[in-house]
């Protein structure tokens, strides 16, 4: 008879304690401890994802020089945006966790990817929807495949039995918080269950070489639900972001053992599923009639991908004593610094003005290369002088009001030229290594922010 042991686990980070605590000593969160029943089994093989009929596996360490090097083979996901985010395809045996808000489109994305890989046998395990609901969604997005199998199950033991029967080449779990392992007696979704089920899936993926996608819930703070160790266990963590009131979604990498962590994929949510957006600038630059003051275009880089984004500003006299500084999609401290530079170095009285800043398209930008576009947008709104929509900007602003060079300026210029822009303003120090004879776009290089104002506004 196995001995039953009760423990207290932090629902935020997974810290285990023998008694209830008000504050977690690991993550310093309050009131996160919950009691869970943990069963200690004498049979150690029960933790294995597949029973070996009593046979013991021999374990032998290898010297590093004895390990044979092999070329990394990736499998195309049939989705160019997902391939880019993962690092040019799915790595065999990898464990990928994708999280996002409810209703953002995680299940639709994974269903679409599974149905699109027609040459592979795909097993879609759902603990949240019935087979009929999955079929209805597949009919709505208009995809079908003879190699796509559906299983509605939450017990990991039954899931592995189905895997032995179907022999899939890709497994999708929707979601990891709904799985239940008979090894533990705690409820599904608890810290212990999430850790145990993820561990079984990781062991299965590494031993068989079959990639596994886990869909995960997020908390009200926007973090992935479950213990923090869940993110350490998996190979790749993807965040599916976007405003549910807007049609566009961004797939962002926060961890990737096999590629870059700065790539993004952009989708548009339609009634027939998610559409890949191959040219992101089309959603980041709004269509409008005539020229408006306070609107400029900045050239930014996400990973290896150049994007042109529209910056919108509204500057008006402060109605109250303290002026407002309200950025959307931009760092507030960075905005305060740029306003201080405009006041100290350029002579504009920003201390009496309310400033509202918005990045069009719902994207969040951290690239300092859009500093110049932000400053021009603010002054354009303040002075009520429109800036031509055929001009874009790519330069960082220093505390002395100087224009600093940015990385990959040639890619930014090439993207602006491809989209039909006539002029681009950059730092004087960025043009030293550029061959401007081959470009059709006019590149204007300046050393100071005041020189840009004189050239633009006179």
Q: What angle do CA 407, 393, 358 make, to 5 degrees?
A: 105
Q: Is position 100 annotated in a ligand binding site?
A: yes
Strand runs labelled E in 108-159: 122-126, 148-152
Q: Is position 458 annotated in a ligand binding site?
A: no
Q: Is position 259 annotated in a ligand binding site?
A: no
Q: Is position 106 annotated in a ligand binding site?
A: yes
Residue 37 β-bridge partners = 6
**Dihedrals phi, psi of 301, to nearest 5 degrees:** -130, 130
Gap between the Cα atoms of 277 and 283, Å rounded: 9
Q: Is position 107 annotated in a ligand binding site?
A: yes
| Omega cis (within 30) before 175 | yes
Q: Is position 104 annotated in a ligand binding site?
A: yes
| Tokens at 317, concatenated | 């006299």
Pair 296, 376: CB distance under 8 Å? yes
Residue 311 β-bridge partners = 296, 359
Pair 10, 27: CB distance under 8 Å? yes
Q: Is position 192 annotated in a ligand binding site?
A: no
Half-sphere exposure in the Cβ direction for 200 (13 Å, CA): 26
Gap between the Cα atoms of 275 and 268, Å rounded: 5
Residue stretches of the annotated binding site: 100-107
Residue stretches of the annotated binding site for ATP: 100-107
């Amino acid at each position: 008879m196995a001995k039953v042991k009760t423990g207290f686990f932090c629902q935020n980070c997974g810290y285990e304690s023998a008694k209830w605590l008000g504050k977690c000593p690991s993550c310093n969160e309050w009131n996160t401890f919950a009691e869970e029943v943990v069963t200690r089994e004498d049979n150690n093989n029960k933790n294995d994802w597949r029973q070996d009929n009593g046979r013991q596996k021999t374990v032998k360490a290898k010297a590093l020089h004895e390990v044979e090097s092999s070329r990394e083979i990736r499998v195309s996901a049939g989705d160019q945006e997902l391939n880019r985010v993962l690092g040019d395809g799915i790595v065999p045996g990898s464990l990928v966790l994708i999280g996002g808000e409810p209703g953002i489109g995680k299940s639709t994305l994974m269903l679409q990817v599974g149905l699109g890989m027609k040459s592979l046998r795909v097993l879609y395990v759902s603990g949240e929807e019935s087979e009929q609901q999955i079929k209805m969604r597949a009919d709505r997005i208009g995809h079908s495949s003879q190699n796509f199998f559906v299983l509605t199950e939450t017990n990991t033991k039954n899931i592995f039995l189905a895997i032995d029967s179907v022999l899939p080449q890709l497994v999708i779990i929707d979601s990891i918080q709904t799985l239940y392992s008979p090894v533990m007696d705690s409820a599904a979704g608890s810290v212990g269950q999430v850790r145990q089920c993820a561990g079984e899936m990781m062991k299965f993926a590494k031993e068989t070489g079959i990639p596994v996608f886990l869909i995960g819930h997020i908390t009200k703070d926007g973090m992935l639900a479950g213990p923090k160790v869940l993110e350490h266990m998996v190979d790749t963590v993807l965040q599916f972001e976007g405003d549910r009131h807007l049609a566009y979604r961004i797939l962002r990498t926060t961890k990737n053992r096999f590629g870059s962590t700065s790539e993004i994929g952009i989708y548009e949510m339609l009634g027939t599923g998610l559409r890949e957006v191959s040219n992101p600038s089309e959603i980041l630059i709004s269509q409008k009639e005539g020229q408006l003051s306070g609107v400029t275009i900045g050239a930014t880089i996400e990973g290896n991908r150049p994007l042109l984004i529209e910056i919108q500003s509204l500057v008006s006299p402060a109605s109250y004593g303290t002026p407002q500084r309200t950025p959307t999609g931009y760092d507030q401290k960075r905005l305060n610094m740029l306003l201080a530079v405009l006041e100290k170095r350029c002579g504009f009285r920003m201390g009496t003005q309310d400033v509202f800043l918005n990045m069009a398209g719902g994207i969040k930008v951290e690239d300092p290369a859009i500093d110049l576009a932000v400053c021009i947008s603010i002054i354009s709104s303040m002075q009520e002088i429109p800036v031509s929509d055929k001009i874009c900007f790519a330069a960082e602003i220093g505390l002395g009001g100087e224009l600093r060079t940015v990385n990959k300026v040639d890619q930014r210029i090439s993207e602006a030229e491809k989209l039909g822009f006539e002029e681009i303003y950059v730092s004087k120090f960025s043009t030293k290594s550029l061959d401007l004879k081959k470009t059709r776009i006019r590149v204007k290089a300046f050393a100071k922010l005041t020189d840009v104002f004189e050239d633009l506004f006179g």
